[in-house]
Amino acid sequence: MKKIYLDYNATTPLDPRVLDEMLPYLRDGFGNPSSIHSFGMRGKSALDRAREQAAALINANPKEIVFTSGGSESNNYAIKGVASADRRKKGNHLVTTRVEHESVLEAFRFLERDGFRVTYLGVDASGTIDLDELRDSISEETLLVSCIFANNETGTVMPIAEIARIVKEKGAVFHTDAVQAVGKVDIDMAEIPADLLTLSAHKFYGPKGAGALYIRDGINKKVGLRPLIHGGGQERGSRSGTENVPGIAGMGMASEISLREMKEDERRIRPLRDRLWESLSASIAGIRLNGDMDGLLWNTLNVFIDGVSGDSLSMALDLEGVAVSTGSACSEGKVDPSHVLLAMGLTRADASYSVRLSLGRFTRDGEIDAAAVIVPRAVERIREARGGSSAAL
The yes-or-no verdict on residue 373 having pLDDT over 70 is yes
| Same domain assignment for residues 276 and 361 | yes
What is the rounded distance in angstroms from the CA atom of residue 10 to the CA atom of residue 130?
27
Same domain, 241 and 278: no
Long-range contacts, 347-352 (Cβ 8 Å, 24+)? 350/304, 352/309, 352/310, 352/311
Looking at the structure, tell me whether residues 302 and 361 fall in a common domain: yes
Higher-scoring residue by pLDDT: 327, 248? 248
Per-residue pLDDT tens over the stretch 24-77: 999 999 998 998 999 989 999 999 999 999 999 999 999 999 999 999 999 999
Picking from 222, 256, 290, the residue at the C-terminal end of a domain is: 256
Which residue blocks in 284-364 are alpha helix, DSSP H? 310-319, 339-343, 348-352
Q: Where are the beta strands (DSSP E) in the chain?
A: 4-5, 65-68, 93-97, 117-121, 142-146, 173-177, 196-200, 211-215, 287-289, 300-305, 322-323, 354-358
**pLDDT value at 393 more than 50:** no
For residue 96, the one-letter residue type is T
pLDDT at 117: 96
* Contact (CB, 8 A) for 19 and 217: no
Res 392: pLDDT: 39
Given this model, what pLDDT does residue 167 score? 98
What is this structure's pTM? 0.95
What is residue 242's predicted lDDT score, i.e. its pLDDT? 92
Q: Are residues 291 and 378 in the same domain?
A: yes
State yes or no: is 330 an active-site residue: yes
Give the residue-averaged pLDDT of 170-184.
97
Q: Are residues 252 and 157 in the same domain?
A: yes
Report the number of distinct structural domains present in the chain. 2
Final residue belonging to a domain, choices 256, 291, 312? 256
Q: What is the pLDDT of residue 310?
A: 96
Residue 22 has pLDDT above 90, yes or no: yes
The predicted pLDDT at position 221 comes to 80
Judge whether residue 235 has pLDDT over 90.
Answer: yes
- Domain ranges, residue 236: 16-256
CATH of residue 115's domain is 3.40.640.10
Q: Quick one: 203 and 287 in the same domain?
A: no
State the first-to-last Cα distance of the chain, in angstroms, to the nearest integer: 32
On the question of pLDDT at 387 being above 90, the answer is no
Q: What is the pLDDT of residues 74-90, one digit of tens each?
A: 999 999 999 988 665 67
Contact 209, 245 (CB under 8 A): no
CA dihedral of residues 134, 140, 146, 150 (deg, nearest 10): 30
pLDDT tens digits for 327-371? 655 545 556 899 999 999 999 999 999 999 999 999 999 999 999
pLDDT for 86: 63
Q: What pLDDT is stored for residue 390 in this prediction?
A: 44
Q: What is the pLDDT of residues 251-289, one digit of tens each?
A: 999 999 999 999 999 999 999 999 999 999 999 999 999
Report the pLDDT value the prediction gives residue 391, as an integer from 0 to 100.
44
Domain boundary among 206, 232, 256: 256
State the Cα–Cα distance between residues 86 and 77, nearest whole angstrom: 14
**pLDDT computed for residue 336 by the predictor:** 81
CA angle 83, 184, 123 (to 5 degrees): 55
Options 14, 330, 372, 392, the catalytic residue: 330
Residues 45 and 173 in one domain: yes
Q: Tell me what pLDDT residue 176 has.
A: 98
Same-domain pairing of 279 and 355: yes
Residue 45 and residue 124 in one domain? yes
Check residue 1 and give its pLDDT.
76
Report the CATH number at residue 329.
3.90.1150.10
The values of phi and psi at residue 164, to 5°, are: -60, -40
Residue 136 has pLDDT above 70, yes or no: yes
Task: Name the residue among 191, 238, 194 with its Cα closest to residue 59.
Answer: 191
Judge if 288 and 343 occupy the same domain. Answer: yes
293-330 confidence digits (pLDDT tens) = 999 999 999 999 999 999 999 999 999 999 999 965 55
| pLDDT on residue 89 | 67
My answer on whether 213 and 297 are in the same domain is no
Q: Is there a single domain that holds both residue 238 and residue 135?
A: yes
Give the pairing of strands 211-215 and 196-200.
antiparallel
Counting every residue written for the chain, the total comes to: 393
Condensed to tens digits (0 to 9), the pLDDT of residues 179-223 reads 999 999 999 999 999 999 999 999 999 999 999 999 999 998 888
Bridge partners, 322 (sequence order): 4
